[in-house]
């Protein structure tokens, strides 16, 4: 869980993940964010545009195409800057 300037809290779960990754956030924020997953060598293996909807506060990413391993996830928008380690089972 990451809180950025007391504005937006981002939670990515489950971690370790299988095929679906849940992403949730707090605060009344809307727009789009860039979701990127890189492998341990820094190679981009997944990129998506995530719709940030204040009404739901939640979205999902399909990780079924990723092989099991260790990755790094990054979510960036005007209001969100989140980076963390992600384990895919």
Top pLDDT among 58 and 63 is at: 63
Name the pLDDT band for 7 (thresholds 50, 70, 90).
low
Q: What is the pLDDT of residue 2?
A: 46
Mean predicted lDDT score pLDDT of the chain:
86
Top pLDDT among 5 and 81 is at: 81
Q: What is the pTM of this model?
A: 0.84
> How far, CA to CA in Å, does 82 sit from each of 16, 17, 39, 55, 72?
17, 17, 16, 20, 10
Q: What is the pLDDT of residue 1?
A: 46
Top pLDDT among 10 and 40 is at: 40
């Amino acid at each position: 869980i990451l809180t950025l300037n007391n504005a937006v809290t981002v939670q990515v779960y489950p971690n370790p993940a299988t095929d679906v990754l849940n992403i949730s956030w707090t605060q009344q924020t809307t727009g789009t964010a860039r979701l990127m997953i890189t492998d341990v060598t820094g190679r981009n293996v997944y990129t998506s545009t995530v719709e940030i909807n204040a009404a739901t506060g939640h979205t999902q990413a399909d990780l079924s195409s990723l092989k099991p391993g260790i990755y790094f996830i990054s979510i960036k928008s005007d209001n969100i800057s989140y980076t963390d380690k992600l384990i895919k089972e």
